[in-house]
């Protein structure tokens, strides 16, 4: 089973910083950055759970600047669970990536978004 603790740690760190951030910082773009990230993580989890794409993608709603930390945490944990459940070991002819590669990409995505949001 894939160890997704790097992703959950990065997501929780960013989510905690958002929860503690002043309203002014959230309104200056931190919340928008975090919502965009939460939506991306959610879409990645949905793709892993339904690789055929048969179900329509569900977009995480904008519930306001004070909720985005929790939305990020939920999306990140959903992706971590989907990665743990994913099967596959490498890039196949269909272009699918290994879960470990998807994990590394997701961690980097979270870290970059945190830097942009909290500067």
pLDDT in tens, 51-63: 888 989 999 999 9
Per-residue pLDDT at 97: 87
> For the chain, how long is the longest CA-to-CA vector?
47
Per-residue pLDDT at 95: 54
Whether 69 and 15 have beta carbons less than 8 Å apart is answered as yes
Residues of the chain with pLDDT under 50: 91-93
Whether 107 and 7 have beta carbons less than 8 Å apart is answered as yes
CA atoms within 13 A on the CB side of 37: 34
The CA-atom distances, in angstroms, between 5 and each of 15, 16, 22, 104 are 15, 16, 28, 11
Per-residue pLDDT at 1: 86
The CA-atom distances, in angstroms, between 2 and each of 8, 60, 115 are 12, 26, 26
- pTM value is 0.91
Per-residue pLDDT at 53: 87
3-state secondary structure of 115: helix
The Cα 110–Cα 92 span in angstroms is 26
């Amino acid at each position: 089973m894939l160890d997704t603790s790097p992703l959950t740690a990065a997501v929780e760190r960013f989510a905690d910083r958002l929860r503690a951030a002043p309203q002014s910082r959230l309104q200056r773009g931190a919340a928008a950055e975090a919502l965009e990230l939460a939506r991306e993580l959610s879409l990645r989890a949905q793709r892993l759970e339904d690789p055929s794409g048969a179900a329509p993608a569900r977009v995480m709603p904008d519930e306001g600047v004070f909720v985005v930390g929790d939305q990020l945490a939920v999306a990140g944990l959903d992706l971590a669970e989907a990665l743990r459940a994913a099967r596959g070991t490498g890039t196949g002819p269909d272009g699918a990536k290994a879960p470990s590669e998807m994990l590394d990409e997701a961690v980097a995505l979270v870290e970059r978004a945190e830097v942009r949001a909290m500067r």
